[in-house]
Structures are given as structure tokens and as C-alpha cells.
Amino acid sequence: MAALDELDRRLIDAYQRDLPLCERPFAAMAERLDASEAQVVERLQSLLQRAVLSRVGPVFDHVRAGASLLAALAVPEAERDAVAAAINRSPGVNHNYAREHDYNLWFVMTAADEVQLEARLEALEEELGQPLLRLPMVEGYHIDLGFPIPWDELEAS
Amino acid sequence: MSVSTCPSEPVPVAGFLDGLDPLDRDIVLATQAGLPLVPDPWSAVGKPLGLAGNEVRARMQRMIDSGVIRRIAAVPNHYRLGYVANGMTVWDVDDAHVERLGREVAGIPGVSHCYRRPRHLPEWPYNLFVMLHGRSQDEVEQQAEVLRERLGDACRDHRILYSSRILKKTGLRLARSSGRPR
């Protein structure tokens, strides 16, 4: 784990969910953290540079963003990488994971809308010569990556 | 063993932006990689767009209210914080209870995503997908055990699918659809 001091930790705890949308957001954060605006900016820069933070900014709602679908495929292990390469070449594929299961390839197909999504899935099925296990999202119960970070436990491990 | 960063669902390229007002779209494009770390980031974002800082803020607030922006945050990279293990757990849960139980287990520590998806019988009986994150595979298995107890008799079967390799992961990047006038 990256070395983080107390201010870094308090900053992440307080602002992993919501940054203030006020005129001087870093000054407002500084006030709450008992630090200076310059310190907050410097910490954010350092945390980004060390990749402890992936981004400081808006998180967009991907569910509203066009059409997408989780798909899986069962292929013999010996052919897995070649099939994965074919999937990755296909337009719209933006995640592809090998997983330990008979269904060993898992990827997300995306498109601007449902019509284009269907066309892309059909084209890929034709190229691969087998149907995909299609797993569209029916309902999302929790799509928020913020969770309390147990710093003390992380320190010990 | 999994070696993934937190998985995120995709942002498909064109559709999302096409639905937005042109100035909102410019703001999305200007901020998607992050805010400028200057005292007044909103004015810095607005300047090249001919917008004052308070106009940028008002537009972002409207996009939050309408759900286009889920939140504005310092987004942690959980992998760098020690959450190096993830498991996609899949559960065969009684349809009569899956909605209530899905909401319940979504609040369990370690859960990042929780979705209902269709079964494909006989080969795929699982209708609830729960992504778990822990500091080790052991911890992910303990979290899965907590889930199994919470789901109780309504759950007939489950599996943990660890990712053995990331074959492709594209970052969140929105792009203008080609040829579309600004």
C-alpha cells in the first residue's frame, strides 16, 4: 500500500464521495481538514501522481450512457487467447477478463444505442461461430464504489 | 488470483454525449479526465468555453440533479489502497426474493456492484451478480460467506469467478461521435 499520512487519509475519507461544488472547493476542503488551500491542492496532486487517486472530478452515470451488455463465452483453454484477441478487435468491446470457469471469457460490449448493440453482438457471434451468453443488466442495486477504508487494518496487513 | 483494479462498467462513446446540450457536452469533455487543481477550477474549465465559473457550476449542478453526473469526487484507486483481490460472485436466488435480497446484500462491506441479470437455463442458473473486493482471496471468500448467510434458503447455488487475466480494459473516455457538428 502507498505511504499515506493522516491528512491524506482524512482527505480521502471525506471526499471520496462528494467534493463541494462551491466557488473555491479546495479552500472549503482545507477549512474542514484544518489545512491550507495550497496544502489540499498539493496533496491532491501528489495522490494523483502516485495513483492513489484515479481522478478528482465528476463521475458520470454510465447506465445512462448508450447501450452496453455483459457477455460470456466458453472456449477451450488452448484457444482462449486467440478468441480473446478476436473479441478485442471487435468495435465496442471495452473490458475483457479471463475468468476461472467453463465460461472463461467475460467482456462488455458497448454501443451508442440498442440497435447498434444488437448488430455488434450478432456480427461477433457470426465471426466466432458460436452464440454468446448474453447477460444484460435487469436492475442495479448498488453502483457506488465509495466505501469506508479501514486504515488501521490496512497498516497491519 | 485476481489482479484487477476496481472494475467499472463502460461509458459507451457516442450516445451519452449526443443526448446533452452542447455546452454541457463541452463541460463533460473538459472535466472527464479530472478538474484543474487551481483555486477556482470552474472558471478555469469555463474560460475556453466562454462561460463564467458560476455558469459552469450551475450546469454541473443541473447535471447532478438530472443524474448525468453521479457525483464529483476524489476517486480512490482501491488497488493502490491494498484491495488487490476481487471476485465476481454469481448467485441463483429465488425470483420472488431477489429484489429485496439484492438491495440488502448491496450494503455489505466489500461489495462494489450488485446487479440482477437474466438466467440462461440450463447452463447458466445465476441471476444475481455481486462484485466483491478484498485485500486477499481469503477475505473475498469470507465476504462471500457473509453473503451466503444473508441470502439464506432463497439461494440455491453460487460461484466465485476470479479473474485470472485482464485481456482488455479501456479507461473511461467519452468521445464525440464522428462527423457530428459541435
- Structure confidence at residue B36 (pLDDT): 97
Same domain, A69 and A91: yes
Report, as ranges of residue numbers, the positions in chain A whose pLDDT lies below 70.
Answer: 1, 62-65, 142-148, 150, 152-157
- Structure confidence at residue A154 (pLDDT): 66
Whether B158 is covered by a domain: the verdict is yes
- Structure confidence at residue A110 (pLDDT): 86
**Cα Rg, chain B, nearest whole Å:** 20
- H or E, element range at B129: strand B128-134
Same domain, A50 and A36: yes
CATH number where B156 lies = 3.30.70.3460
Count of domains forming chain B? 2
CA B120 to mean position of chain CA atoms: 24
Same domain, B61 and B119: no
- Structure confidence at residue B6 (pLDDT): 35
Whether B131 is covered by a domain: the verdict is yes
Same domain, A13 and A44: yes
- Structure confidence at residue A88 (pLDDT): 93
Same domain, A51 and A20: yes
Mutual orientation of helices A80-89 and A114-128 as an angle, nearest 10°?
A: 150
Residue B94 domain boundaries: 85-162
Identify all chain B residues contacting A88, using CB atoms and an 8 Å cutoff: 167-168
Nearest chain B alpha carbon to A36: B39
d(CA B63, CA B65): 5
| Cβ-contact B28, B20 below 8 angstroms | yes
CATH number where A85 lies = 3.30.70.3460
Whether B50 is covered by a domain: the verdict is yes
CATH number where A17 lies = 1.10.10.2890
Q: Is A61 on the interface with B (CB under 8 A)?
A: yes
- Structure confidence at residue A3 (pLDDT): 83
Q: Point out the residue among A56, A108, A113 whose CB comes nearest to the CB of B9.
A: A108
Same domain, A70 and A131: yes
ipTM field? 0.76
Count of domains forming chain A? 2
Give mean pLDDT in consecutive 10-residue pieces for chain B, a chain of 182 residues.
36 60 92 95 98 97 90 89 88 97 89 93 96 91 96 96 77 47 36
> How do residues A66-108 score in pLDDT, each as one tens digit?
788 999 999 999 999 999 999 999 998 988 889 989 999 999 9
Looking only at the bridges linking them, the beta strands covering B85-93 and A133-135 are unpaired
Identify all chain B residues contacting A98, using CB atoms and an 8 Å cutoff: 163-167
- Structure confidence at residue A89 (pLDDT): 93
d(CA B170, CA B11): 10
Looking only at the bridges linking them, the beta strands covering B85-93 and A93-99 are unpaired
Identify all chain A residues contacting B76, using CB atoms and an 8 Å cutoff: 12, 16, 52-54, 149
Residue A19 domain boundaries: 6-59
Cell numbers linked to B70 = 453521479
Whether B176 is covered by a domain: the verdict is no
Tracing cell 495522490 back to the chain, one arrives at: A47
Contacts of B115 (CB under 8 A, 6+ apart): A137, A138, A139, A140, A141, B128, B129
The reply to whether omega before B122 is within 30° of 0 (cis) is yes
